[in-house]
Structure 1
Amino acid sequence: MQHWFFLSGAIALEVIGTTFMKLSAGLTKPLFIALMLLFYVASFLVLTLALRKIEVGVAYAVWSGAGTALIAAIGILYFQEAITTFKLIGIGLIILGVIGINLGGSQ
């Protein structure tokens, strides 16, 4: 069960890193660039710990899918990005895809 906590942590770190990428204003703000790199490196390190017990296809699908959905939500809620029907459908499809891959993975 601990490996799923590692995966959750990796997702959170990646989402924070991506948020700092946006805040770096096109890589023009050194503090946000440094924080982005720090959180991305930490995310990959923690993801590696999750891969000890979770299949790489399942782990990566969950990591990237959850990260994408969370970043889309942050974009809408925090950065005032437009919310459209197509975005909501896309996020829903991502979530369904991650569930499908997770259900299809062997234990």
Structure 2
Amino acid sequence: MAWVLIVVAGLLEVVMASCLKLSKGFSELWPSVGFVLFAVASFGLLSLALKNLDVGTAYAVWTGIGAVGTATVGIVAMGDSASPLRIGALALIVIGIIGLNLTGSNAH
């Protein structure tokens, strides 16, 4: 269950970061409100998951999901660059996340 919380928290981090971009420096009301709500929800789920997971691995997975997801949203929906080097770097993050999970950070 803790891993499910981390995955959902990571996905909420993607929405949070997207809202941050759309808020235009907190000058747009609804994206700014969305940022705050999704940030609180993401950190809250991370906090709950950390009751049962190693902090280093859980935090790395959470931020990895957020980073790869946000970069993907940027490429697909916001016109960010999709260079081969960028895609390769994102693939390395995914490989790192998988590697961390395979090293045995088990729920207590």
Query: Above 0.5 in TM-score?
Result: yes
Q: CA contact under 8 A between 1:15 and 1:70: conserved in structure 2?
A: yes
1:40 and 1:67 map into 2 onto residues whose CA distance is 11
Aligned counterparts of 1:25 and 1:96: Cα–Cα separation in 2: 32
- Structure 2: runs of 5+ lacking an equivalent: none
Aligned residues with identical type, % of pairs: 38
Q: Deviations over 1:31-80 (max 9, x none)?
A: 21111011101100111111111111111111011111111110011011
Q: Structure 1: give runs of 5+ residues left out of the alignment.
A: none
Q: Matches of residues 1-107 of structure 1 in structure 2 within 5 Å?
A: 2-107=1-106
1:37 alignment partner AA: V
Letter in 2 for 1:81: D
- For 2:72 and 2:14, locate their aligned partners in 1 and report how far apart those are by CA, in whole Å: 11
- Do 2:19 and 2:31's aligned partners in 1 also have CA atoms closer than 8 Å? yes
**Partner of 1:17: helix, strand, or coil?**
helix
Q: How many residues align?
A: 106
The one-letter code of the counterpart of 2:59 is Y
Contact 1:55 1:105 in 2 (8 A): no
